Amino acid sequence: MSAELTIEDLIVGDGKAAVRGALITTHYRGFLADGTEFDSSYRRDEPFQCILSNNRVIQGWILGLQGMKTGGKRRLWVPAALAYGERQIGTMIPPNSDLTFEIELLEVLTRDD
């Protein structure tokens, strides 16, 4: 995996675009570099809601989801430096892990809504 964030649009949405500070609702799957799935909102059957800002989600999501439109699906290859860095997260994500996410953007709410 490269040292930079890589973004691939699987489906280009046609709805409202995600911006920093927006409340977003997504479905996602997260994978380690070896392909092991470490998390999935689909498996929990519960969409994930978060504010697209520091201290809410990893930098890779903040950078990788801005401009993505509702209805879209995107794959992000996130280097460890833009994920959890040297921290171990639970039992599934070792330190210095590059991560891959498949993210479906369901809704974007901004302060203007």
- What span, in angstroms and rounded, lies between the C-alpha atoms of 35 and 33? 5
Active site residue 112: no
Active site residue 28: yes
Catalytic residue among 38, 48, 51, 89: 38
The closest of 27, 25, 24 to 43, measured between CA atoms, is: 27
Catalytic residue among 24, 31, 39, 98: 39
Active site residue 39: yes
- What span, in angstroms and rounded, lies between the C-alpha atoms of 63 and 71? 18
Active site residue 38: yes
Fill in the DSSP letter of residue 61: H
Catalytic residue among 24, 31, 62, 84: 84
Active site residue 101: yes
Catalytic residue among 28, 62, 98, 103: 28
Write out the catalytic residue numbers. 28, 38-39, 58, 84, 101
